[in-house]
Chain A
């Protein structure tokens, strides 16, 4: 039996929908984590990664429901025996298309080397030990597109060995999330903790905008703010912000 969403339930449904969608993607990373742990235990080398992790990454890319365009394992420095830096990462231009191995400079002395360990999709799981969603952001290292990256840490004993993850194009999430926002009365937007808009139904507010003058800290604390209400999406770094004062968040 389905109930028409009321004003009170709409935001909870919408927030729940984003959470469920994200959980599906983190669940999709579980086989990748298992394969990586196995490779680290049995054959912690580039060859081991290719033999044991690559097939699981390409399988994840083939799952068109998840619409993943990048997947794999990014090693922490010195996690593997035969190289300081390594990625076992595969990409597809569009979900379901032929996967290709990502080739980037892994020699720190190389001219095009970019130390990815400082980028949020690696650094946050590395320092917090918890899963993370990075973005929306321009992923100039890999997809060259506006991207959401799901990552979760992998450990070898007590030490961080790296992260496994997957990429989704933001344009794909926008289309899904517009449907979830239809459940909500009034101007609404999914917003990252920093105020970056993931998708919005408010006129004049678009994906990628920064709602710099929203009182985000207070909203996340649960304070009452006139004209605005925030519903958390589980433990995700996103919230659903609803209210007439939403569009004003764009202006200083």
Chain B
């Protein structure tokens, strides 16, 4: 019989903490509104049917309906009945700014830093493994993603390119787990962390960060790649925190 691990009381309590703070309807609403804010579900896009959404999310149809009601109240979705009916995204060309800034203000600095720590750990490990395992094909895809960020002009394009670059690093690491985790975290953290890319200077330094990271990966410098990836995330957290300070300052 294995020895019991010595867990602190707090760690032990965390095991049995309530599973979700939010209701499932709120989680569904958050997932969809983040996707709309990120531009993954563009203006006028039709959402899958309520039954489809329920099946994909693994929740009851009534939960989906509640989530859609929330989104309608926030003005993110409209539902039309009859032929050609369904739920459609109503989002202006770049809804991100105001909606995301509002969300950024709601997050505590501590939580933002914690999200950043988690994301940095993931990105750092992926970058280190990519340096050890990337073959020419993988590097070509990193270069493509880099170019996409260089050429991205709107905030939404920049966030998409930034996200795609991170996915390519995880894929270059030959790790399906890290890739899936990267995609999952991006959905959660991306909108907040990359809001600052709207700014020209932030965009330029992100491009540079990608370039130096890709170089380290292509040269097989594993430790340097990890350090660069972690620093890139830390910089993004710093920018998000200062954006948050500004937003709150303006409101006061």
Contacts and interface: CB of A to CB of B under 8 A. Distances in A.
What secondary structure prevails in chain B residues at the interface with A?
A: helix
Nearest to B129: A208
Given A111-B40, A111-B160, A112-B40, A140 B171 contact: yes
How many chain B residues sit at the interface, stated as a range, is: 20 to 34
A252 B175 contact: no
A137 interface: yes
Contacts of A208: 133, 174-175
B220 A144 contact: no
A99 interface: no
Interface stretch (B20-28, B114-122, B134-142, B223-231): B134-142
B174 A138 contact: yes
Nearest to A145: B176
A195 B156 CA distance: 37
Interface in A137-183: 137-138, 140, 144-146
A130 interface: no
A193 to B, nearest CB: 10
Contacts of A118: 144
B156 A144 contact: no
A60 to B, nearest CB: 23
B135 A111 contact: no
How many chain A residues sit at the interface, stated as a range, is: 20 to 34
A146 B40 contact: no
B40 A194 contact: no
A120 B137 contact: yes
A192 to B, nearest CB: 8
A138 B174 CA distance: 6
B135 A196 contact: yes
Contact of B42 (A110, A194, A209): A110
A145 B179 CA distance: 9
B133 A111 contact: no
Contact of B135 (A110, A114, A195): A195
Contacts of B195: none
Contacts of B176: 138, 144-146
Interface of B: 38-42, 132-137, 144, 156, 160, 164, 167, 170-171, 174-176, 179-180, 183, 220
Given A111-B160, A210-B132, 12 more contacts: A110-B42, A112-B160, A114-B164, A137-B174, A138-B171, A140-B171, A144-B180, A146-B176, A194-B136, A194-B137, A195-B135, A210-B134
The 7 closest A-B pairs by CB, nearest first: A208-B174, A138-B171, A194-B135, A111-B39, A210-B133, A145-B176, A138-B179
Interface of A: 110-112, 114, 118, 120, 136-138, 140, 144-146, 194-196, 208-210, 212, 252
